[in-house]
Structure 1
Amino acid sequence: MASRPQNIGIKAIEVYFPSQYVEQSELEKHDGASTGKYTIGLGQTKMAFCDDREDIYSFALTVVSNLLKKYEIDTNSIGRLEVGTETILDKSKSVKTVLMQLFGDNTSIEGVDTLNACYGGTNALFNTLNWIESSAWDGRDAIVVAGDIALYAKGNARPTGGAGAVALLVGPKAPIVAEPGLRGTYMQHAYDFYKPDLTSEYPYVDGHFSNKCYTKALDAAYRDYNKREAKVANGHSNGDAAKLSLD
């Protein structure tokens, strides 16, 4: 039996942002907001946006193509491709299937989209790590893509928008290692941020409630992480505890 892969994590990273952007200082003036509300209060200097020649498909195609070229990745060396996004152009066809154009005759690639708000990319990464740690892993690397085009209606939430994508090469012997068994999870039903109107790109946002949900989730996820950390330290995690490290 092949030995369990070691040091699974991120082996390479590529990012893409559209070239168009709005200066947040100019948006402050346009909105009649106080100077520094967006640039200091939100810590934002520029807000990227895309024109009618770009969409989530082109974002993903560009960032994955750049990753493959920059790191000279053999497309046959990829066995899983996961996408995390909340930006959709089709209610059935996944962004992952569009990306398959980049992999030539290599049709043996697992994975699909995770459609969710901010957690979608994280879940896509977790799915990929789980695959490499599982009996289904065939020895190949994986690629995880996270991308979105965040648009808001006129109002307080608009300066928090933006657009971009990131592609991660994931596999064993990585310089950025994800410790096995160490993650904290918190999930709850809430209507703080949602997009029920399929004819509109704008979300419904309750900012104050969303902040409460975020801090509550962060606190609970950290407590869950601490519990799992204690189990790993005591040798109660799945797999060979002797191979786990908290260093």
Structure 2
Amino acid sequence: MAIDQRPQDVGILAIYPYFPKRCISEEELEVFDGVAKGKYTIGLGAEYMAFTDDREDINSFALTAVSQLLEKYSIDPTSIGRIDVGTETMIDKSKSVKSTLMDLFSAHGNNDIEGLDNTNACYGSTGALFNAVNWVEGRSWDGRNAIVFAGDIAIYAEGASRPVGGAGGCAILIGPNAPLVLEPVHGSHMANVYDFYKPILTSEYPVVDGPLTVTTYNKALDQSYITWRQKFESRLKAQGKEFEGPISLNIVDYPVFHAPYGKMVQKAHARLVFNDFLANPTDPRFANVTNPETFTSMPYEKTLSDKSVEKTFIGVANSDFKKIVEPSMQCGKRCGNMYTASLYNCLASLLAVKTPEELFGKRISMYAYGSGCASSFFTIRVKGSTEKIRKTMNLLDRLASMEVVPPTQFIEALEVREKNHNAAPYHPVGSTDNLLPGTYYLESIDEKYRRKYSVKA
């Protein structure tokens, strides 16, 4: 395409998830931790959790994911003009993860690549995605495509939050004439909240207020969704298009959510249905809601944590949840929480489970949330075949091939990371036998904290 022509249908051209070789069973972790059976598996809806030791860090995750995206899709490194990274796994307060990725492109003579890192908990990947899309759609676009990398190593100190960890990454190719087109309407909600944050620079572990995270997630979902509905309706009116209002989930075929753990996704979907109920209580979808006035008259702040709201609308939404939300949860079930990569590996899961014929012409909603807090609700329209993406990812087979190991290996890996955090000089002790071929890994850190990476043949 000539650069004086405006690009059309900008969106996702390719996607490639990355996750470590090993995971643990949450059911086995319940036994190991000595907690009640079902506390993690039923209470949190968690099944497995990926992890890694000191052989991998966020730079190696990025190198692996992006190199595999380039290789698997036969992408010319000189065809990339922008790279945006979303991560909250910090190993340097100044030097970006993107700068490390330049090794993959400098070798091909391409140092003219814009973009840097985006950080705000799990939302950084969506900030990166919006930046990449806006660059392709903007006046400074030079005709090349963009790459977004999202990834994190989600680990917690010993305690109640540890079972909602995980690890994973995702590399995404952005450009025009894409099969997955980002629609222009975004509903966002930003606020100053201390629900989850990382002020202790000598530790990888966050400070967590679990109950506040749940209510903040819900409030951000409500507000970003309501704003999206209003903007979507205004856009249709401006275009002179007729519609049977109000705008609701009825125009979304597959809702996809940021997924810290399975039960939160189920509750989030129910929360959207609750929002639709408040907007139109007489909709036939809600004919079986008992005493609807109980919910329409309830003070808003109370609804954020009220169990009767939660239980009622999980029941209303349950049938749809199984059909249109669960297909996006395959990666999360196996890898656990991947922070910035979570939402986009959920999208990858949907593309892996549903056939191109089932997806063509459909609308996918995306809810991005990052503690602190930042959130957006936006949509993707499937305008082309997803067959190449589905075949290239080979996601379901790769997830099934992950090695399920005893919780002791997980605990040992965390202890190694904790003991050697910020160490220099340092030579990792983790075995490269725990890495898949093609995985980049940390070879050493010298006395000046310079990191050297190798790739497993």
Range class of TM-score, shorter chain = over 0.9
Residues 1:109 and 2:113 aligned together: yes
Where do residues 114-193 of structure 1 align in structure 2 (5 Å cutoff)? Answer: 114-180=118-184, 182-193=185-196
- Secondary structure of 1:197's aligned partner: coil
Q: Number of paired residues?
A: 238
The C-alpha deviation readout for 1:105-139, integer Å capped at 9, x for no partner, is: 11111000002201011110011111111101111
Deviation at 1:3, TM superposition (A): 3.1
The C-alpha deviation readout for 1:72-126, integer Å capped at 9, x for no partner, is: 0001110110000000111100000000000121111100000220101111001
Deviation at 1:42, TM superposition (A): 2.0
Q: Quick one: percent identity of the two aligned structures?
A: 57
> Paired residue for 1:15?
17
**Aligned letter for 1:70?**
K
> Paired residue for 2:32?
30
Deviation at 1:36, TM superposition (A): 2.0
- Secondary structure of 1:61's aligned partner: helix
The C-alpha deviation readout for 1:134-161, integer Å capped at 9, x for no partner, is: 1011111100000001110111110100
Residues 1:200 and 2:203 aligned together: yes
Deviation at 1:6, TM superposition (A): 1.1
Deviation at 1:21, TM superposition (A): 1.7
| Rg larger in structure | 2
- Secondary structure of 2:14's aligned partner: strand
Distance 1:207 1:44 in 2: 16
- Secondary structure of 2:238's aligned partner: coil
**Aligned letter for 2:174?**
V
Deviation at 1:4, TM superposition (A): 2.1
> Paired residue for 2:90?
88
Distance 2:115 2:20 in 1: 26
Distance 2:154 2:95 in 1: 20
- Secondary structure of 1:44's aligned partner: coil
* TM-score under structure 1 length normalisation: 0.92
Distance 1:20 1:168 in 2: 23
The C-alpha deviation readout for 1:184-203, integer Å capped at 9, x for no partner, is: 10000000001111001111
| Aligned counterpart in structure 2 of residue 45 of structure 1, from 47, 55, 60 | 47
**Aligned letter for 2:116?**
V
- Secondary structure of 1:86's aligned partner: coil
Deviation at 1:41, TM superposition (A): 2.5
Q: Give the number of the structure whose residues are more often helix, by fraction.
A: 2
> Paired residue for 1:210?
213
Query: What root-mean-square deviation, in Å, do the aligned CA atoms of Structure 1 and Structure 2 show?
Result: 1.6
Distance 2:115 2:199 in 1: 26
> Paired residue for 1:74?
76
Task: Give unmatched runs, 5+ long, in structure 2.
Answer: 240-362, 364-378, 382-457
